[in-house]
Amino acid sequence: MATTLLEISQSLLFIEYLRHAGIRPPQQHQDWEYRIGAEVLARILWLQGQPRYFIAAQLMSKPAPN
């Protein structure tokens, strides 16, 4: 099944989604991807000097890790 990435407009929301999924947010200001195997779960793209944040739709409904 293909991963659907949704754009998140606020960096703080993106970071909260990552933390909820147990993913450590990146500290660098550059393109970034978090993958499990071939599946992309989160992505930051820098376009024209501005970051754009994307997250896999299934992460939004995943329970927080214990």
Mean pLDDT, residues 11-30: 90
40 in a structural domain: yes
Separation CA 30–CA 43 (nearest Å): 10
66 in a structural domain: no
22 in a structural domain: yes
DSSP-derived secondary structure for 5-24: EEEES-HHHHHHHHHHTT-P
Higher pLDDT, 57 or 17: 17
27 in a structural domain: yes
**Is 80 exceeded by the pLDDT of residue 24?**
yes
Give the pLDDT of residue 4.
85
- Counting the structural domains of the chain, the total is 1
44 in a structural domain: yes
DSSP-derived secondary structure for 33-65: EEEETTEEEEEEEEETTEEEEEEEGGGGGSPPP
Range of the domain at 31: 5-61
Mean pLDDT, residues 59-65: 61
Q: Which residue shows structure tokens 């993958």?
A: 35
